Amino acid sequence: MKTTNEINGLRLYGIKACDTMKKARTWLDQQGLSYDFHDYKSAGIDRAHLEAWCDEHGWQTVLNRAGTTFRKLDDAQKADLDQAKAIELMLAQPSMIKRPVLDLGDRTLIGFKPDVYAAELATKN
């Protein structure tokens, strides 16, 4: 017998201590949705996931340029960014990945907006 999570197929990627992550987890819990949580700061993330997310959403969406980790980079590291360079930065420092990333099985959502989550998850059921 499949578990609820296997049926829902939800996996949430992010960093445990992030405020936006806490909002997303609280929202999912309030909806009674189960999900696997992958903390990419402690468990890391592989190139295949980053490439898939960048292919789906564009590296400009996946790379969190507003965060402290990115802003602390020197100008040379920030210069001439493209998908390959952005993926290398995110592999080296997963804190630079925009969060959360909610994997719905057939697509992903980047960032947390309750109305978008509600609409996307309504079509999933």
Please identify every residue annotated as catalytic. Answer: 18
CA distance 13 to 72: 23
Tokens 């490439």 correspond to what residue? 51
Helix (H) or strand (E) holding 50: helix 47-57
Any residues with CB less than 8 A from the CB of 74 and at least 6 apart, and which?
Answer: none
Enclosing H/E stretch for 21: helix 19-30
Q: Measured between alpha carbons, how far is 88 from 19 in angstroms, rounded to an integer?
A: 25
Residue 125 CA to residue 120 CA, distance in Å, equals 9
